[in-house]
Structure 1
Amino acid sequence: MKTVRTLTLAVMLATAPAAGVLAEGKTHYVAIHVDQNDPQVMNMALNNARNVDSYYKSIGDEVVIELVAYGPGLNMFIPGKSPVEDRISAMALEMDNISFAACENTKRAMSAKAGHEIELMDEAAVVPSGVVRLIELQEQGYAYVRP
């Protein structure tokens, strides 16, 4: 009888993650969309990112967050113009699970209108198209959030 129980326990432990017993936390993926030059919307997007991160950490899960900005929302990544510049810099240092994507199409149009190259915050990675980036993320299973 002892051998059967030992074998049963060994099988249970070996299959535990598949059965959800003793499983490690799940990883969630979230894309947050900003296309408005509105400090309230930008702050809400950053609040969403912070709250999602806090929640999943509290239950032992992980989350990967990408904030994508294009159109007027790209202003959130322009140094000296962004109303959330300090928050983005702080969050990038505090959270290794967040990234910021800036639309190249919008950047090019803004640069042409300004007559000079628009500089972006170091935290922002340029992607060819903000809309295409959101499509790609959703195709990869990211949940979509628009504050």
Structure 2
Amino acid sequence: MAGFIAEFKKFAVKGNMIDLAIGVVIGAAFNKIVDVLVKQIITPPLGYLTTGIELADLAWVIRRPELDAEGEVIDPGVVIGYGLFLEAMIDFLIVAFTLFIIIRLINSLRDRAEDTGDKTVPTPKDIQLLTEIRDEMKRMNDPASPASTQPPV
């Protein structure tokens, strides 16, 4: 039993588990932000543009409901309501596009914040020395160079 508890403790305190828990909490908080952004800022202008169109009411009637003389429903009929599905798809696309814009903005800000300094690596001393030796040998072997007429030291 002690081994089981020790194994569970190791599992629960492991870095990945804690990172996952933090991700879930931050994701839930971020979900609220995106939900308010979509419902309160983005959707109202779209609703204004589509005034009079109620997607939730859209349906394909396969068989109409039967009513008795008093207007009571005898047979509800067969109706495929696709309006709510369309609303859900549109909501999903709005949320996905909004998240895309937010993540793109965050990535561009992060790229700007990164160090834009000189990222070149200095040439190691041994490579510099080999380069100088090569250049000196070229100069010594060049017939037009005054150093090529001098005897080696």
TM-score (norm 2): 0.22
Give 1 or 2 for the bigger CA radius of gyration.
2
TM-score (norm 1): 0.22
- Choose between structure 1 and 2 for higher RCO, CA contacts under 8 A separated by at least 6 residues: 1
Structure showing the higher strand proportion among its residues: 1
Structure showing the higher helix proportion among its residues: 2
